[in-house]
Amino acid sequence: GQQVMQIPQYQHVQEGEDFTTYCNSSTTLSNIQWYKQRPGGHPVFLIQLVKSGEVKKQKRLTFQFGEAKKNSSLHITATQTTDVGTYFCAALTGGGNKLTFGTGTQLKVEL
Among 11, 21, 25, 33, interactor with another protein by CB under 8 A: 33
Q: How far is the CB of 67 from another protein (least distance, A)?
A: 21
Rounded Cα distance, 101 and 76, in Å: 20
Tell me which stretch binds another protein (CB under 8 A): 20-28, 41-49, 61-69, 76-84: 41-49
The site that binds another protein (CB under 8 A) totals a number of residues, namely 26
Nearest to 30 by CA among 2, 63, 62, 61: 2
Q: Could you please report the per-residue DSSP string of 9-62?
A: SEEEEETT--EEEEEEESS--S-EEEEEE-TTS--EEEEEE-STT-EEEETTEE
Residue 42 within binding range of another protein, rule CB under 8 A: yes
Residue 43 within binding range of another protein, rule CB under 8 A: yes
**Using the 8-state DSSP alphabet, how is residue 15 labeled?**
T
Residue 49 within binding range of another protein, rule CB under 8 A: no
Q: How far is the CB of 16 from another protein (least distance, A)?
A: 28
> What is the separation of C-alpha 45 from the centre of its chain, rounded to a whole number of angstroms?
10
Site of interaction with another protein (CB under 8 A)? 1, 6, 9, 31, 33, 35, 41-45, 48, 88, 90, 92-94, 96-104
